[in-house]
Amino acid sequence: MSLIGALHTGFSGLAVNQAALEVVGNNMANSATKGYSRQSAVIVASTGTEVQPGTFIGNGIQLQTIIRHVDEALNTRLRSATSDQQAATARQDVLTQIESIENDLSDQGISNQLTQFANSWSQLASNPTDPGLRTLVVSQGQSLAELIGTVRGEMSSLRKQTETDITANVTQADQILTQIASINQQITLAEGGAGSANALRDQRDQLLSQLSELVPVTTVLQPSGSMDVLVDSIPIVLGTQSRGLQVTPTNESGTLQYILRVKADGSRLDPQSGKIGQLMESRVGDVTDAINALDTFAGNLIFQLNKVHSSGQGEQGYGTLTASNGVLDATAALNTPAAGLTFQPVNGSFQITVTQKSTGQKITRQINVDLDGIGTDTSLNDIAGALSAVPNLTATVAANGKLKIDAASSDFTFSFSQDSSAALAALGLNSFFNGTSAADISVNSALTANPLLLAAGQGDIAGDNRNALQLAGLFETPLDDLNGQTLRGSWENHVQDFAARTDSTKRLVQSTGIVTDGLSAQQQSVSGVNLDEEAVNLLSFQRSYQGSARFISVVDEMLQTVLGLVK
Amino acid sequence: MSIINSNQGRVSSAMTADSMLSILRQTQTEMMKIQQQISSGKKVSVPSDNSGAASAIGNFRNLLAQFDQHTESLSNASDVLAVTDSTLSDISDLVTQAQSIASSQIGVTSDATTRSSQAEIVDSLIDSLSQSANADHNGIFLFSGRTSSTKPFTELLGGYRYTGSRENLAATIGQNLPIDVNSNGASALGALSSRVVSTVDLDPAATATTRLSDVAGARNVGVQLGTVNVTIDGTQVSVDLTHSDSLGDIATRINSAINGIDPTAGGLAVSSKGFTLTAAAGHTIDIAEVGAGVTAADLGIGLTATGAAVVGGDVNPKLTLTTDVSTFGVPVDMTSGLSVTSGSVTKVIDFTGATTIQDMANKVSAADMGLRLEINSSGTGLNLVNEVSGIDVSIGENAGGTTASDLGVRSLTGSTQLADFNHGLGVRILGSGQNDIEIQLHDGTKVDVSLTGATTVADVMSAINTAGGGSVTAGMAASGNGLELTDTTAGAGAFTVIDLNNGYAAEDLGIKNNVGAGATITGTDVAKVRNESVFTHLMALRDALRQNDTRGITLAGEALNRDLDTLTRSRASTGVRSNRIDAEKTRTADRKIQTASLLSGLQDTDVTSAITRFTQLQQQLQANLQMGAQVMKLTLLDFLK
């Protein structure tokens, strides 16, 4: 054992403790750095020198390695929890937006507008002679139609926004993949299979955590230090190569679907959680579903209301009238796809009454609509023919497939009644609403121009209110076409359905949040920096350093002493 | 809320900060929610705030709006009824006044001049009545029924014509129960009470286009559509008849089923009474109910045909405006027309060229005689209704035709009560077997007739025919109306009818006449019909006063007395409706309060508990902040020198 050797022992203490202090310093500096994993210097005693057989004297210390405190299993669980939480949050965002667009518990909601509309009919029924109340019914109808249209428009925007979100998030995910691949490469180079590029690994973990917010990923750590990333066992990063992600809007069975694919080979991914997966799911399952519910409701509203309205009469008859819905083929039976009517008429009949204004004389004819599927069924041309056979009436089918009925002169008007076939409503004759869905619902412009055409009465009696009474009660009447549901009930069901979805998603956000918080607390407990702990380490390494320095000075003195012997 | 496991080994500095942040966020979010609840007053502002209650909240909100609307409708109906009541009271007052004039002008204390001047007062009362009867509230005419926008009474042919309906305008109040809002001249003032009610069942034939809703059904309870079993030579198929609209649809569906089994087996055809089931030779077709169904019974097609035709039950098609007149089951003379006299105007209403009942109604209204042709409530026959009060109407045959009799709208028939003659004065018959009239014939024969016990026109005709023994016959006039006597004898004597024993029977029957050598005495129609309305009776009183006719004054006075009863009943019914509406108003108000309180329970913020919760959260926040500040402040580094 030499004194020089002892100097070396002292020096190893200085050097290693200094390194350890640096690690502590690094930990302290990064105590608030997101994604930073605490590092520890692993210090071991150097192998001793045998001074006599069986007796060893230590040669100081050496820095074996600097390790990161990470728990890979925990990280995996945390990433999966993060995917779940982000999915729930994304869905919550979408559902909350739908809810606020519909805003159904407010005075501006569809439910309330429906009530106001029904009440305006009831008001008209209590005083059918008041022209102001007719205007009120028409304008309430317009408010309802406009509201439905606005809600529909905002829902469409929401769907577009969701689509933009999907694309943006996929682009972001794709960039993260590129970064991970590049870090994989750096790690492989830096570690050469054995080293520890801690900062790079931290960065990669950080990127994986960001990626798991978007798509649920699993990872496979390779011996080279690089990490493969997979979605549903399909690799998206392989070693130093990102296989990339892209979203392709594809037309699938008539509807536009957003599909996530791997750029490299186009394999289809169906992520069940993460923001992207949830947005793709919510786009169809929530937004499109809500739009469809609104369209169905609006369609039912239009058809059911028109069915009653078209069989009533206003204070005035029509001199000329053009159907608002055309057929594709005027020779096809009205309820066939060839005719192309959105609303289907059924087997039945309706009556048309032509009134001569100067004499008050009326002629009523029954128009049969034979749609029983046996023998020859009624086409629009047949109806036009039957109408033209009524004295003082001409009916033609225009090139656009719309029926046009004209009275012979301004002395004649015509009105409709007792339609058991719903043909009038299906064709849009004497209708209240025009359109077929929420996208195009509007009040028949003939009524806005002349509210006297509003069919408040039945039996061709001026001042009658029976049709208005029927319409006022229509929204609360169970309808066979809606399987015994009421119109209002069908809308309330939808609102209830989405309220339940939103509510359960809010709970899911909370519960997944608790899981994530718990896991990240666990992760922090493994990887987080505790300043007190570091301070203690700081003290001990500092003391150790001081000790080594003191030891060197003692050895130095010893050397001086030894050298002093040589004079 | 604990999100950190209690067995956590290490606590990192960042974790302390994170967990503090997380708790701060949660507390503040919850505080904001409560702040929102307190400031908006609502704990449920979007459906997902309480998804279980969302539907109930929507429902209650709708109910509240409906209650408001009901209250408004009720107030409107109640206003109309209040005005109706006061108008009926005005009318009662003027009828009472007219009635007291009638009773004061009967006795000897009055004379022609006084009566004539009193007639002017009655005339002004008629004007007031016309004004009251045409009164409206807010545009709704009080006495025009469903035709609420049309003035109900207009002057026509010197009388007052009622153009309103028999049914009232109804409004729904809660639970969809209708309540009448206004009244109609027919029930309140007797404006359509003319007694020409047809008893002829025109029995229209069924056609393929006859709607199922327009038939009374073989059991007279309408048609309930369902499925029937059709068995063709032992093979059974069930045929769904729901969604059928017309009789033709039924036949089409059943025939399609039969053709599906054996096109040669036969078929079901629409025939005049309903359906006829025909099975070709060697085939058997059977139609039967499925289970306890009633469809086959209602359609009268529960039949079995074996190699022959079987006619089903009569489905009794009802008359509608579009019923084709050629389908009437009884012969109707459509070419001769009706001879109608309204007041002093006589016109012939000719139905030539009419193809539907509506065409006939058009022809009646085109004559502008104040008449309307109505289908009776059971849909079997036609009534000719006199809309004009104050004038007499006589409906008879034209030029020997049978139109009026065929349709059953003749105003004088064999069954007309003698008591109805002369506006209800009747025919003065001596009684006790005394001879009332004497008929002198051409051959000098005098036929004395006793009308004792006769109550109808037929009784009178039979008494004359019996007494005449063939030399004189009595019947109804072939043209116009009235009794007609024919002298079958020859000779130089004058054909004369006179009263015997100071009686008035011949005069009251309208047959007192001397036609000399003529063979026919056509009586005048003294049994014309009129509306027994307040208008008619006031006008009768006015005319009687002008003509100084005490018998007429008495009769008018009595009629006005009856009118007062009618008016009292009308007022009572108005009162009952008012009470119902008041009760409904109270009930609606009660329900509104209940519903509002239920809604409030679901939707409104319980301010006490919200503020309590807010205070708790405030403390939590404060504690969290203090704790956090303390914990984060402490670090070993501070203690190292």
- What pLDDT, in 10s, does the model give residues B270-287? 998 899 999 999 999 999
CA torsion through residues A97, A103, A108, A113, sign: positive
| Residue whose C-alpha is closest to residue A479's, from A468, A489, A491 | A489
Can you read off the two tokens belonging to residue B76? 């409107």
Beta carbons of B14 and A528 less than 8 Å apart: yes
Q: Which pLDDT value is given to residue B524?
A: 84
Closest Cα in chain B to A506? B48
- pLDDT at position A327 is 93
Q: Name the DSSP class of A287.
A: I
Give the Cα separation of A128 and A418 in Å (integer): 20
Over residues B394-410, the mean pLDDT reads 87
Overall average pLDDT of the B118-139 stretch:
91
Q: Which of A195-199, A515-519, B84-88 has the lowest mean pLDDT?
A: A195-199
Q: How far apart are CA B14 and CA A289, in angstroms?
A: 43
Q: Which two tokens stand for residue B631?
A: 């914990």
Please determine, for residue B8, whether its predicted confidence score (pLDDT) is greater than 80.
no
Residues of B in contact with A493 (CB under 8 A): 55
Which of B144-153, B253-262, B627-636 has the weakest average pLDDT?
A: B627-636
pLDDT value of position B198: 80
Task: Report the candidate in A81, A376, A37 with the shortest Cα–Cα distance to residue A198.
Answer: A37
In 3-state terms, what secondary structure has residue A55? strand
Q: In this structure, what token pair is assigned to residue A453?
A: 């055409």
Q: What is the dihedral of CA B637, B638, B639, B641, to 10 degrees?
A: 80
A375/B252 Cβ within 8 A: yes
Prediction pTM value: 0.87
Report the residue of chain B nearest A500, measured CA to CA: B51
Q: How far is the C-alpha of A534 from the C-alpha of A515, rounded, in Å?
A: 29
Distance from CA of A538 to the nearest CA of B (A): 10
Residue B176 pLDDT > 60, yes or no?
no
Residue ranges of A 133-192 with Cβ closer than 8 A to chain B? none
Residues 6+ apart with CB under 8 A from B63: B591, B595
Segment B361-390 mean pLDDT: 88
Say whether B424 sits in a helix, a strand or coil: helix
Give the number of A-B residue pairs with CB atoms closer than 8 Å.
Answer: 253
In B, which residues are within 8 Å of A114 by CB distance? Answer: 62
* Per-residue pLDDT at B2: 45
Burial class (CB in 10 A: 0-12, 13-18, 19+), A7: middle
User: What is the C-alpha separation between B614 and B377, in angstroms, rounded?
Assistant: 70
Cα A275 versus chain centre, distance: 10
pLDDT bucket at A14, cuts 50 / 70 / 90? very high
**Nearest CB neighbour to B54, from listed A96, A462, A499:** A499
Per-residue confidence (pLDDT) for residue B1, from 0 to 100: 42
Q: Strand B446-449's sheet: what is its strand order?
A: B446-449, B437-440, B496-499, B513-514
Task: Name the residue with higher pLDDT: A302 or B398.
Answer: A302
Q: How many CB atoms lie within 10 A of CB B279?
A: 23
Who among A364, A476, A530 is closest to B321 (CB)? Answer: A364
Q: Which residues of A touch B181 (CB under 8 A)?
A: 126
Cα angle for residues A183, A189, A195 (degrees, 5° grid): 100
Please name the residue of chain A whose CA is at the shortest distance from the CA of residue B603.
Answer: A105
Q: What is the largest CA-CA distance in chain B?
A: 165
Query: How large is the average pLDDT for residues B296-315?
Result: 90
Beta bridge partners of B397: B338, B480
What is residue B5's predicted lDDT score, i.e. its pLDDT?
62
Q: Is the pLDDT at A427 greater than 90, yes or no?
A: yes
Between these two residues, B351 and A567, which has the higher pLDDT value? B351
ipTM of the shown complex:
0.84
Question: Helix axis angle, B51-104 relative to A110-126, nearest 10°?
Answer: 10
pLDDT tens for each residue of A469-513: 899 889 988 998 888 999 999 999 999 999 999 999 999 999 999
**Nearest Cβ partner for A365 among B65, B170, B322:** B322
CA nearest B192: which of B170, B224, B167? B167
Q: Please write down the HEC assignment for all residues of B122-141.
A: HHHHHHHHHHHHCCEECCEE
User: How far apart (Å, rounded) are the C-alpha atoms in residues B470 and B484?
Assistant: 14
- Mark yes or no for CB contact B51/A503 under 8 Å: yes
Contact of A363 with chain B, judged by CB distance below 8 Å, is answered with yes
Subunit contact A361:B362, Cβ cutoff 8 A = yes
d(CA A465, nearest CA chain B) in Å: 7
Q: What is the mean pLDDT of residues B318-347?
A: 89
* CB-based contact A24:A538 (threshold 8 Å): yes
A321-342 average pLDDT score: 92
Distance from CA of A309 to the nearest CA of B (A): 18
- What is the sign, positive or negative, of the torsion defined by CA atoms of B435, B438, B439, B445? positive
Residue B58 to residue A532, Cβ atoms within 8 A: no
When pLDDT is cut at 50, 70 and 90, the band that residue B175 belongs to is: low
pLDDT tens-digit series, residues A392-425: 999 999 999 999 999 999 999 999 999 999 999 9
- Chain A residues touching residue B179 (CB < 8 angstroms): none
8 Å CB contact between A123 and A89: no
- Please give the pLDDT value at position A515: 92
Substitution target in B46, B212, B268, B364 with the highest count of A β-carbons within 10 Å is B46
Which of A289, A288, A182, A173 lies closest to A231 in space, CA to CA?
A173
Contact B55/A495, CB-based, under 8 Å?
yes
Range with the largest mean pLDDT of B48-62, B103-117, B211-225: B211-225
**Angle, CA A508 vertex, CA A502 and CA A511 arms, to 5°:** 150
- The DSSP symbol for B47 reads G
Q: Average pLDDT for residues A457-474, to the nearest whole number?
A: 88
Sign, Cα dihedral of A109, A115, A116, A117: positive
Where does the pLDDT of residue B3 fall: very low under 50, low under 70, confident under 90, or very high at 90 and above?
Answer: low
Q: How many CB atoms lie within 10 A of CB B204?
A: 26
Strand B227-232 vs strand B235-240: parallel, antiparallel, or unpaired?
antiparallel
3-state DSSP assignment of residue B513: strand
Mean pLDDT for A299-317 is 93
Question: pLDDT tens across B485-543, in order?
Answer: 898 888 888 899 999 888 888 888 888 888 888 888 888 888 888 888 899 999 989 99
User: Rounded mean pLDDT of chain A?
Assistant: 91
Enumerate the H helices of B495-549 as residue ranges: 505-509, 534-546
| Of the candidates B298, B278, B329, the residue with the CA atom closest to the CA atom of residue B213 | B298
A349 and B366 in contact by Cβ < 8 A?
A: no
Residues in chain B within 8 Å Cβ distance of A472: 172
* Per-residue pLDDT at B94: 92
SS3 content of chain B, % helix, strand, coil (to 5): 45, 20, 40
pLDDT of residue A280: 93
**What sign does the dihedral A185-A186-A191-A197 (CA atoms) show?**
negative
Query: In the 8-state DSSP scheme, what is residue B246?
Result: B
